[in-house]
Amino acid sequence: MFIEPNLSGERRGWIEVVCGSMFSGKTEELIRRLKRAKIANLKVEIFKPAVDKRYDENDVVSHDSNTITSTPIENSQTILLMAQDVDVVGIDEAQFFDAEIVDVCEKLALRGVRVIVAGLDMDYLGKPFGQMPNLLATADYITKLHAICMKCGNIANISYRKNQ
């Protein structure tokens, strides 16, 4: 793993954000990157908000049923406590975390950790969602994914809400 030195010469990690609309493949990409880090024998920890119980209470699961073991947590500060001596931290559904998530990611990166965050960047109205705009502003690398519109076949960058 390549880690750029910061100005003081210490190891520094970085923050990667994978964003997009629902069904764009954000979680799939997060799982792919984390599994590759594990193949490289890096120590990996994965976190998701405790409120996310859609497919599994503990694991991060993509719409394609790919899965990776994770730890559900109530608040972002818990990540700092639980991510000791790790090389890579994965965070899914970041839009549901509290305002401290940005500070947590920055602190991890300063420790030399590669932080990979996935989440919705906009709500169904196309408005910035949760803490994702702040994460995008501080990210070192950004990957924006798009879904496909089932009606016209074009790319879709805003989540469609069926019932209001």
Check 4, 28, 93, 106 and give the catalytic one: 93
Element (H, E) at 136: helix 132-138
Active site residue 100: no
3-state secondary structure (DSSP) of residue 67:
strand
Q: CB of 94 within 8 A of CB of 105?
A: no
3-state secondary structure (DSSP) of residue 110:
helix
CA distance 157 to 164: 19
Instruction: For the chain, give percent helix, strand, coil, nearest 5.
Output: 25, 25, 50
Catalytic residues: 93
